[in-house]
């Protein structure tokens, strides 16, 4: 019961913001033009500040685990490759293909995962999980841009994809944060506070905009895609990667980040990114909403099983 309460408390703030956005859209306070403006603002301004701050503040020297970093990167790329092979054979429309793939490999690692990992591992053992942000965020964002650019329409162009990656504000912010971190470049207190405050806007505003885009009609329209996406994200992904990680000897504070990354709901930032890169925004919104809601149950079950097996 305690683990269920932990999972519920981690997901509840996300769901409340989404519900607020849905309510405001239904009563006409958030109209289509405003919703698109909010998505653009989050994607180009607030989310980059959030990612820069997250990577910049990661303690690279704390509990560095090369094996865990290498495993997560290889597992992430492998899962991405599996999805790039399978999804085009299961879905016919390009805008949906890119969104489905992104929705199944991109996790709400920082917003959902960190509170959960701290509860499971304890604050003193959070080093490996924190460090994964600095490694995962740039890699995942690169893979997400590759995915959405590939299925944007027309013939995929290596030059176009590289330009899209180079101009993506989320990737630029992540790499800048990593560079400032590794080079130990200090930020003035007032500047850092301003950047932190702007970054804090990203999560609630993204989720409110997400809720404003959601409709229950889309759940009926995308029933098959949602079954595929939610099942792949919350069941297949953690089943494959946590099992492999356990077989390779990861335990406790090194197995928890694997569970959290591959079993967490779809990242909220995947929605504005899909909107900005010509993906199916309604499907992206539905994937975030349904994986966030159902992850309360799935994370509880994963934690229960792993604790019963004395793996965490």
Which phi and psi (to 5°) does residue 194 adopt? -65, -45
CATH of domain 2-308: 1.20.1530.20
Q: Where are the domains of the chain?
A: 2-308
Q: Which carries the bigger pLDDT value, residue 311 or residue 115?
A: 311
What's the confidence (pLDDT) of residue 306? 86
**Phi then psi for 279, rounded to 5 degrees?**
-85, 175
pLDDT the model gives residue 285: 87
Average pLDDT taken over every residue of the chain: 83
**Which two structure tokens, joined as six digits, stand for 265?**
């709901």
What is the percent of the chain with per-residue pLDDT over 70, rounded to a whole number? 86
Residue of 43 and 119 predicted with greater confidence: 43
Map residue 214 onto helix, strand or coil.
Answer: coil
**Residue 107, beta-bridge partner list:** 266
pTM for the whole thing?
0.77
Residue 253 CA from chain centroid, whole number: 20
pLDDT for 154 beyond 60: no
Residue closest to 195 by CA, chosen among 57, 22, 9 = 57
Instruction: Tell me the C-alpha distance between 240 and 88, whole Å.
Output: 21
Cα separation, 61 vs 71, whole angstroms: 19
**Maximum average pLDDT range among 95-104, 141-150, 280-289, 290-299:** 95-104
């Amino acid at each position: 019961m305690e683990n269920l309460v932990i999972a519920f408390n981690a997901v509840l703030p996300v769901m409340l913001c989404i519900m607020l956005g849905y309510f405001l859209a239904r009563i006409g306070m958030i109209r289509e033009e405003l919703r698109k403006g909010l998505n653009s603002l989050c994607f180009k301004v607030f989310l980059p500040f959030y990612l820069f701050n997250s990577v910049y503040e990661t303690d690279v020297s704390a509990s560095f685990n090369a094996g865990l970093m290498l495993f997560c990167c290889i597992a992430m790329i492998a899962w991405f490759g599996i999805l790039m092979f399978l999804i085009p054979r299961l879905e016919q429309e390009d805008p949906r293909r890119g969104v489905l793939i992104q929705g199944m490999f991109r996790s709400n690692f920082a917003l959902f995962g960190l509170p959960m990992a701290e509860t499971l591992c304890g604050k003193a053992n959070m080093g490996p999980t924190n460090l994964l942000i600095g490694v995962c965020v740039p890699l995942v964002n690169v893979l997400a841009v590759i995915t959405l650019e590939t299925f944007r329409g027309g013939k995929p162009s290596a030059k176009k994809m590289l330009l899209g990656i180079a101009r993506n504000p989320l990737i630029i912010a992540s790499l800048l944060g990593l560079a400032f971190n590794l080079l130990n470049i200090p930020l003035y207190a007032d500047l850092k506070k301003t950047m932190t405050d702007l970054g804090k806007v990203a999560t609630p505003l993204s989720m409110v905009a997400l809720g404003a885009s959601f409709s229950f009609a889309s759940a009926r329209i995308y029933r098959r895609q949602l079954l595929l996406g939610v099942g792949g994200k919350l069941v297949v992904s953690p089943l494959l990667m946590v099992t492999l990680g356990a077989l390779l000897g990861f335990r406790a504070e090194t197995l928890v980040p694997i569970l959290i990354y591959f079993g967490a709901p779809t990242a909220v930032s995947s929605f504005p990114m899909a909107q900005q890169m010509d993906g199916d925004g309604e499907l992206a919104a539905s994937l975030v909403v349904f994986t966030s809601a159902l992850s309360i149950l799935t994370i509880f079950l994963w934690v229960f099983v792993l604790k019963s097996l004395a793996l965490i």
